[in-house]
Amino acid sequence: MSTHIRMFQKKNIITIQHPESVHHTNGMIGSWNDWPLTEKGIQQAENIAANLKSEFRDTKFSVYTSPLSRTSQTADIIGKQFNVVPQSATALKERYLGRAVGQSVQWLKDNIEAEERSIYDKCFSDAESRFDVWQRMIPFYETIISRNEENIILVSHGDSLSIFNVMWLGLPVESLQTMDLYGVSGGVSFLYHTATGKRVIKKMSDTSYYKNKAI
């Protein structure tokens, strides 16, 4: 008895959580504030780019990035290594925190309107919930999955990528009620969609890439 195996388009997706930004050092909220990378963060981005190029010397990538400075800076550095111009994607922006944008982390703690006990809750009435981020990311996700691009680099933010990881595994949005797949600043993850349809996370938020290890 023969078994027919449906073939799928292979995908090699590398996600990068932007390295050190000014808001990591000054106690301010990230969100949609347009903080740039620190000097340390720029060097980390340079190392990520060089290490990826060393590992994928002959691979052509499409690069998509959140339009915020800390991510677009990172993407530009990576793009130069791979001789590609990054494409800006609003869907990859960090979660919007409403009136907390422009405030400090301590201010948020002191003035939060509501605890986020579910993916539908908002810390402020004019903020995005995690469900809102899922909803704005879905069209972008479906687009890159359907396009004839085998090798893709995404540069985004911690909360947004944690949602993308769950989406990548084919889990429903409600899974975010009971689980998270967070990375860390400067972490590089490797996601694969095999020809037989299997979705794989081979490496998760590997921080060794922002160290100077390229030969």
Question: Is 50 exceeded by the pLDDT of residue 2?
Answer: no
**CATH code for 11-95+131-210?**
3.40.50.1240
CA–CA separation, 144 and 62 (whole Å): 10
pLDDT, tens only, 16-36 = 999 999 999 999 999 999 999
Mean pLDDT confidence for 157-177: 95
Q: Are 35 and 70 in contact (CB under 8 A)?
A: yes
Mind giving me the DSSP string for 75-118? HHHHHHHHT-PPEE-GGGSPPP-GGGTTSBHHHHHHH--S---S
Burial 2-24 (b: 16+ CB within 10 A, else e): eeeeeeeeebbbbbbbbbbbbbb
pLDDT band, residue 196 (cuts 50/70/90)? confident
Question: Is 90 exceeded by the pLDDT of residue 6?
Answer: no
Domain boundaries, the chain: 11-95+131-210
Question: Is 80 exceeded by the pLDDT of residue 82?
Answer: yes
CA–CA separation, 178 and 108 (whole Å): 24
pLDDT band, residue 1 (cuts 50/70/90)? very low
Which of 77-86, 152-161, 163-172, 191-200 has the weakest average pLDDT? 191-200
Hey, how many other C-beta atoms are within 10 angstroms of the C-beta on 118? 12
CA–CA separation, 173 and 159 (whole Å): 14
Question: Is 70 exceeded by the pLDDT of residue 3?
Answer: no
CA–CA separation, 43 and 174 (whole Å): 38
